[in-house]
Structure 1
Amino acid sequence: MTKKYDIEQREMRNFGEKEINNDINVFIGRESELKLLNSHLSKASKGSGSFILIRGEAGTGKTRLLKQFAEDAQYHNAIYFSEKFDKSNSFNPYYPFLKVIQKVFSNKSEQNKFDELFPRLETRVPIENKFLDVESFYHIQSERNLVQQKIVSALKDASKDQVLLIEFLDVHNAALTSWQFLHYLSHSLLEQKIVIVLSLRQDGRISQPTQVPLYADVLQRMNREGLIDIIQLNRFNLEEVRKYLNLIFPRSDFSSRLLSTLFEISGGLPDQLGELIGFMLGKGIIYQQKNIWFNQEKIDLEFLTTYFIDDQIRSEVSNQLQRLDDTKISILQYAAFMDTHFYPSVLAHLCNSKRHLILKELLSLQDQKLIYEEKDGNFYFKKAIIRALIVEQLSEKQKTRLRKEIVKAIESTNHIDDSQKIYLLANLYPQIGNISKAYEYLYKAGEKAVKNLAFPEAVKFYSSAIRFSTNRASQIPPKKAALLFLKSAWLNRVLGNWEESLKQCERVKSICDLETNVGLLNQILIQEGLTYFRLNKWENAKKCFEQCLATDEKSNLFDRAMSTYGLGNIYFEMSQYNLAEQHYQSALTAAKEISSKYLMANIYNNLGAIRSIQGDRLNAIALYSQGITLFTEISDNYGVARLYNNIGMTYADENNWQKANEFYGKSLSISDQFGFVPMKAITFLNRALALSHLCKFEEAREYNFKALRLLSRLKDELGLAEYYKIQGIIEREQKNWPQAELFFLDAIERYESLNNQLGCAETEYELGLLEFAKSNLKQMRIRFEDSMARYKLLGIEDKIDFVKSKMEELLKDASIINK
């Protein structure tokens, strides 16, 4: 039987007999937080997993709380694993997750299983230094989904017999892709024996401020969905400082001045409080006699303040640096420009020394509290101010010299991981003005990001590379620059940055002779066509796809299939369903010939949508079933999200709003997890409509407003027309008739400008219902007849019959009421 762990007894260690030092390592003031964390482990043992975020400014005790929690894990039969996010791995966002899984398999002596599931990601998605075709792009997109699902599957499998406690540190350094995946994990592991704890520094000292809205947005969604418990660590109050003192010094007789002094100078930060007490012990301000602790009667507040105020810390550190020998100074100067951790092999080369001697120097610097060693064996600056002071003391000429020497050493060493080397050089070369090298390594960093399925991070590196490629002094060959622009166009389109995608396509055109390179021309035309389609500029998109098809035998079969499929999508949105189906069937034949499951699945999905609109529900479901089988085989989560949305629309056509809302919820869950913003906007609209029919008007307004926010950002004119139509329905059902009419008329105007007859027909019908609510039967009949006329143009007999039946029903009801 396991002995109950006594937290109080553990905390009351005999600190009075310990050796005096400058680090008071006591757990205090976080008992309620620790109790909450342990409760999550108890729930996990019963199969209810948790996601927890511990956040607070630097020094509030996050690390200490996590250390204590890890110690307690053994009493819950939990296995503990820890990894940290390093900004140098921004183009490898799954690295911390894969490291955890590797540790899990190693713990079970199943390393081979890990190697089978996760060969190096870079080898999974081959990207050669040539122009990528559209098919390769889609392969990469599908690969990302497969990796994500394998990680989840491996974690679920590992937690079958034992609780897993997984700790991710420094998540403020995590890339956008990592945050999106964390959101996905929070959905996927709720019913598993897994507790995942994130540690977030919240004091503004974030290495890349652009990350702030990224994690803030994801956290807001996770919190709103009830997927994460947030523990906010604040500074100690005066009473907690008193308790801290009493636990460290159980036998003491301190003056009242000591407590107020400690609180005033430390600001209530646990870490600074510990350092301050350690300093006072070392200076004899706090001392022991006959096993009782006392403090000096006169506490020199000015002396203590001098030690702890930032300006004085600078002076103290500066003096400390001046006392170092040349070797140690050189080590710190070089390390200050490496941006991440210290690299002993590189430092040995730079200092003309041996690696083991450099390690000895690093340990000495650690003893002097200038640097520290992490569990992974890497060394870091103890405080940011140390790095800042070192850099400040150098002239611009010295900085440039140091950077050039570091670059040369990194280039020549074989002791640094390739990813780390690329990251360092991608950051250093731009700072020393070497344009060609800056372009080369920024491009390589972008490649690493794409190969590791980190699309937002790839865009960042490619964008920086583009700035150098367009520099007047650039000697980048046009073909290499064109490849960069084309990849950037694809990534920006996938991420919803459509205007930027078109801009990159134009850049390719400006530097290449497309008349002699039909393959490249087709790549651009397809990217432009797909992007114009997302912007609802259908005539532009149509011209692109038709021009691609006009190249006849010169274009490959996949390009032709994609162009034909693109035309099908345009006709679908223009409500020309017969033409849409013809193009889909033609594209399907080509897709089968080249065994493109991705394209086949999307075509089945769209054909199902046409059948659903035409009222052929059984065939619609059959086509959806074929699509979902293929989407599942290729792990295409976006496709699955679309499919759920379309099934919801099928139920909506049958007025089964409860089932429609259920499937919209499933679609939204996937879109939210993976950051499919355009898909999420569409699902918000559909869910708002379903909720309005379920008379849940406040929720309907909420989802419609969410859709408006995203649609405005995406400049989705068709989506905005849908927004106004649905808002009109909500206002009508709540008897806000003047507002409802304005929204409906605005929707019709927008649909007309887009030549979308289906949207006009649907809105005319809704206006008919509004006129009936106002008891204006003449106008109701006019609206219904206009709706039927539009449906007749579209050849949708099922809808004509429905509107006619509804009109007759309402006229009959009105007749009965009048009698």
Structure 2
Amino acid sequence: MLGRAVSPVFVGREEELSTLFEAFGEARKGSATAVLLGGEAGVGKTRLVQRFAEQVTSNGAQVLFGGCVELSTEGLAYAPFTAALRQLVREQGPARIAALLPEGAERDLARLLPEFGEPSGDGETDTGRARLFEQFLTLLERLAESRPTVLLIEDIHWADRSSRDLIAFLSRNLRVPQVLIVMTYRSDDLHRQHPLRPVLAELGRVNGVLRLDLPRLSQDEVAQQMAGILGSAPDYPKVQKVYERSEGIPLFVEALLDSGEDCAFPESMQDLILGAVERLPEETQRVLRIAAAGGIRVGHALLAAVSGLSDIELESALRPAIAGNVLQIADSRAYAFRHSLIREAVHDELLPGEHQRLHARYAEEISRDRTLVPPGRAAVELAHHWYGARNDLWALIAAWEAAQKSFKAFAYTEAIPLLERVLMLWDRVPDAAERIGADHTSVLERASEAALAGGELDKGHKFVKAAVSELDETREPERVAKLVVRWANLKIYKGRMGVVEDFRHALRLVPEPNLDRAEVIMPMAQHLMLSGDVDEGTRLVEEGLRLARELGDRCLEGDLLLNLALGHSIDGDTESTLATNLRALELGRLEGSGRLITRAIGNNIDALSDLGRWEEALELSEEGWKKAKKYGRIRLNGVFILNNRAETLEAIGRWDEAIDTIERALTFGPVLRTRSHLLRLRADISLARGELELAEAIMGELGVLKERPEDFLQDITNSTRLRISWHLNKGEPGSALAVAEGFLSRPSQSPKAMLGWRMLSLLRTVCDAAGAVEPARARALREQATGLAAGLKVSGPVAAAYQLSFSGDFDGAASSWERLNRPHNQAKALLRAAEARALAGDRDGAATRLRVAHPLAAALRAAPLVDGIEALSRRVGVTHHQQEVPELLTPRELEVLRLVTLGRTNRDIASELFISVKTVSVHVSNILAKLGVTSRGEAAAAAHRLSLLSL
């Protein structure tokens, strides 16, 4: 209902409304995903998005509404998404919505709405949240298949942490057409430490996300608004007066006009907003104060119960507020304040005693009948109201219950403040442990579990430390051991060193052959393997496997088999690695464990790539990605699978695809170690292409140039290789030599046979490059490397090819790399072979090798390698002839080709050239056909080779 102080005319927002429609149009083509609409309180964000929603709905779109409320900050997780789901269920029924999702996926949504049945109970709480995110993404994608869909979320400045994370996840990962998310927030509420600020900054860098700021109205627009409200054009002095005093904020224009003919301006904005309330009957004002204590929206039955009024009495009291547009009638027999500022102003007028009494009344009535609030909200509502009532006993009980509900919904970050409240109130309730059925240490353990799952690492460390301090190792060793393992995992996630002693401590606490010991063995063995201690790690795995099989725990057995396979991989037994991973995969399938299935697939992609079976590796990565989506493990094992896929693509020279895969993986916010793997791989490609500024930036983030300490030998090896390549690219063989010497001085070097031979191949290059300036040091390094090579296994054809390069058989290496379809390594080996032939006086032999190497390097845009090939070619008199252009490209195709050479995706090109993604795809296909090439990388190389972009 619209009161008399609201203009029936939509004023001053045509440009912003047009922008929203443009974004919607781009979303329908798949080029836009979200709009972030910011503006001051009262500036008209809600009116704008409502008008937008009305118009797109009339054009056949489906609009889902979700709003955040202040209560969200106290643990009301996923409030806007629950509201949108409830709308869908109300309109279409739970069965129809469930039919849109993969089989069984509705059990994840049941954590938000009971209409979907019993929540899943697979025990994999570490993955449940990611799975819930994925199901919501799938739901939006499926809805959009039948009609355009808009998800409208208001007031995200009040969003809980889980909702903010889900907003960011959806904004980054929506890839299908016909879906647009529109979100509003108060820009004036975003203080420097506001948790929404980093989310907005992150989303501002995501392609397809638009930031839109809603300004205040101009004086002419205020005049139009006034004319709409008054029904006639106001005189200029009055317009000027209202404009100056409202400062162009529509809500204040309405309040000023509602305050009377003289437009008197009260001392504060709160007084101005309250003006409309204070002119209402006293009984209406009393009920509004009661409603304000309940939040921005409160149901009729709840308000009647708290106020003590009959239905007729309540309706009579509220009618003037509705007529005056202070309140509006919402869905499901509820009342909502027209604007949150009105509710805040009324709530702030409550006296302290009145505030406590009203919150107590809400808590009492909801405790008596939980159906007075929407399903799933009773626990957090009770926690909020009992705390507001200053009732320590029931505030503690309700906070504990709400925290358990948050765990059930995978809303770990919302559980943390609730558990902190339990801890804060603990000493005020003498029998707290009996009241909640858990001791103080259990609360700390639960809080540490929530912090680890939610990524709150510093808080997790604090909770674990406090819990351990309350326990006696001699009386409860198993309990302490679990906490110590959690402590170690927190350290690993923070990139800290020396956690193996924590694992040893935990293992000493559980000497008996039982499940507690096996659960310590599993992460400890994995850590030892990655740190290079394969022997001890293998002994522990074998012990753990005996225990797991005796206990009948097939999931634990599968995890331990994957650790055993890791040891085989490090030892160079790649065939055993594959076989053992497959045994773990079978156990995962028998148990329906998404964690085991996706972890095993990810590991086998790596093993297949090491064996040179790249086609199988890429096929398996596609299967693994689908499984990761199915099991909701995208941000954990799914990103690891993408990393291994990118490694395979990099190895076979499909660098642009590898970069796209890396960038896609990074959008999922991977854990620190996986992120580091992805960045190292990106740095490898940038160094190979001579992009030194980019490489330096990445290596700076990784801490590679400062030799940041690392525990895992694989990470140490790869970081060292980057530093050596960095110095060689800069023409600093002496510095490269120094890094290599430091690496070989370590007690342990390469963790895997293939990585070891790759490093030795690079050390051969360092020795050859530094031999002229530091002959003695280069000779000593070569001797050390030869000693290391004597004890290193050859684990497959990839390691064998690196071994040939190390031994100096560059022609043999080039042939091997050709068979393995690794063009960059092939071209490097050919250049080294050509150098050897040139030194031997065989100019023809050198020329033959250089003519094969040059197009390989050029197609990859491997600038340093191209320069090296061309420099040697000039010395031996080889000319690399340009091919004729098969057909002159059109001007538009040249524009597209220019952007392709810069590494732009189709979506980037579409945005820059103001054409659709489909049109870009057609242009790219035409370009590839005209140039006679099969990939974007080859097209870019041809553009440089044929000087097309200079035409």
TMscore range, shorter length: 0.7 to 0.9
Match of 1:641 among 639, 642, 647: 639
- Aligned-partner Cα distance in 1 for 2:3–2:346: 30
TM-superposition CA deviations, 1:641-685 (whole Å, max 9, x none)? 123323444666xx44645x7457546634533564553344233
- Aligned-partner Cα distance in 2 for 1:575–1:650: 24
Match of 2:206 among 205, 225, 235: 225
- Residue equivalent to 2:678: 683
Matches within 5 A, 1:721-732: 725=720, 728-729=723-724, 731-732=726-727
- Residue equivalent to 2:441: 482
- Residue equivalent to 1:27: 10
- Residue equivalent to 2:48: 65
- Aligned-partner Cα distance in 2 for 1:525–1:583: 18
TM-superposition CA deviations, 1:450-503 (whole Å, max 9, x none)? 111112222232233233336696743594323222222223223444454344
Distance 1:346 1:355, change over 3 A: same
One-letter code aligned to 1:228: V
- Residue equivalent to 1:9: none
Task: Check conservation: 2:280, 2:320, Cα contact below 8 A.
Answer: no
Unaligned ranges ≥5, structure 1 = 1-18, 129-135, 284-302
Distance 1:734 1:220, change over 3 A: farther
- Aligned-partner Cα distance in 2 for 1:190–1:632: 14
TM-score by length of 2: 0.67
Q: Is 1:423 matched with 2:380? A: yes
- Residue equivalent to 1:564: 521
Q: Greater shift after overlay, 223-232 or 236-245?
A: 236-245
Matches within 5 A, 1:585-734: 594=552, 596=554, 600=558, 604=562, 607=565, 611=569, 614=572, 616=574, 619=578, 620-621=604-605, 625=620, 628=624, 634-637=631-634, 638-649=636-647, 655-656=651-652, 658=654, 662=657, 666=661, 669-670=664-665, 672-673=667-668, 676-707=671-702, 725=720, 728-729=723-724, 731-734=726-729
- Residue equivalent to 2:400: 443
Task: Check conservation: 1:784, 1:807, Cα contact below 8 A.
Answer: no
- Aligned-partner Cα distance in 2 for 1:408–1:110: 32
One-letter code aligned to 2:204: N
Match of 1:200 among 170, 180, 185: 185
One-letter code aligned to 2:155: D
- Residue equivalent to 1:100: 84
TM-superposition CA deviations, 1:211-270 (whole Å, max 9, x none)? x33x33333333323031222211233455567678889985x65545543432232234
Q: Is 1:524 matched with 2:483? A: yes
TM-superposition CA deviations, 1:507-550 (whole Å, max 9, x none)? 33444455555653453344244345443323323314533652
RMSD over aligned Cα atoms: 4.8
- Residue equivalent to 1:133: none
Q: Is 1:348 matched with 2:304? A: yes
- Aligned-partner Cα distance in 1 for 2:297–2:143: 32
Task: Check conservation: 2:32, 2:207, Cα contact below 8 A.
Answer: no
Matches within 5 A, 1:85-96: 85-89=68-72, 91=75, 93-94=77-78, 96=80
Q: Greater shift after overlay, 625-634 or 416-425?
A: 625-634
- Residue equivalent to 1:536: 497
Q: Is 1:149 matched with 2:134? A: yes
Distance 1:64 1:546, change over 3 A: same
- Aligned-partner Cα distance in 2 for 1:545–1:230: 50
- Aligned-partner Cα distance in 1 for 2:11–2:98: 40
TM-score by length of 1: 0.76
Distance 1:256 1:388, change over 3 A: closer
One-letter code aligned to 1:541: D
Match of 1:216 among 171, 176, 197: 197
- Aligned-partner Cα distance in 2 for 1:436–1:498: 30
- Aligned-partner Cα distance in 2 for 1:51–1:349: 41
One-letter code aligned to 1:367: A
- Aligned-partner Cα distance in 2 for 1:739–1:33: 59
One-letter code aligned to 1:185: L
- Aligned-partner Cα distance in 1 for 2:734–2:153: 50
Task: Check conservation: 2:69, 2:159, Cα contact below 8 A.
Answer: yes
Q: Is 1:265 matched with 2:245? A: yes
Task: Check conservation: 1:688, 1:726, Cα contact below 8 A.
Answer: no
Identity of aligned residues (%): 15
Q: SS of 2:439's equivalent?
A: helix
- Residue equivalent to 1:185: 170
One-letter code aligned to 1:191: V
Distance 1:349 1:658, change over 3 A: same
- Residue equivalent to 2:64: 81
Distance 1:250 1:347, change over 3 A: closer
Match of 2:318 among 362, 367, 371: 362
Q: SS of 1:231's equivalent?
A: strand
Task: Check conservation: 2:127, 2:633, Cα contact below 8 A.
Answer: yes
Distance 1:359 1:776, change over 3 A: farther
- Aligned-partner Cα distance in 2 for 1:243–1:158: 39
TM-superposition CA deviations, 1:401-455 (whole Å, max 9, x none)? 4444444344334423464332233234445554443332222222111111112
Task: Check conservation: 1:55, 1:199, Cα contact below 8 A.
Answer: yes
Q: SS of 2:189's equivalent?
A: coil
The structure with higher relative contact order (CA 8 Å, sep 6+) is: 1
Q: Is 1:547 matched with 2:508? A: yes
Task: Check conservation: 1:532, 1:541, Cα contact below 8 A.
Answer: no
- Residue equivalent to 2:111: 121
- Residue equivalent to 2:823: none
One-letter code aligned to 1:358: L
Task: Check conservation: 2:39, 2:186, Cα contact below 8 A.
Answer: yes
Q: SS of 1:229's equivalent?
A: strand
Distance 1:488 1:772, change over 3 A: farther
Q: SS of 1:121's equivalent?
A: coil
Q: SS of 2:145's equivalent?
A: coil
Q: Greater shift after overlay, 138-147 or 467-476?
A: 467-476
Task: Check conservation: 1:571, 1:580, Cα contact below 8 A.
Answer: yes
- Aligned-partner Cα distance in 1 for 2:384–2:306: 18
- Aligned-partner Cα distance in 2 for 1:198–1:402: 32
- Aligned-partner Cα distance in 2 for 1:817–1:235: 75
Cα offset, 1:736, TM superposition: 7.2
- Aligned-partner Cα distance in 2 for 1:275–1:589: 75
Match of 1:317 among 266, 274, 278: 274
Cα offset, 1:752, TM superposition: 5.6
- Aligned-partner Cα distance in 2 for 1:742–1:381: 71
Unaligned ranges ≥5, structure 2 = 579-603, 609-616, 811-831, 842-951
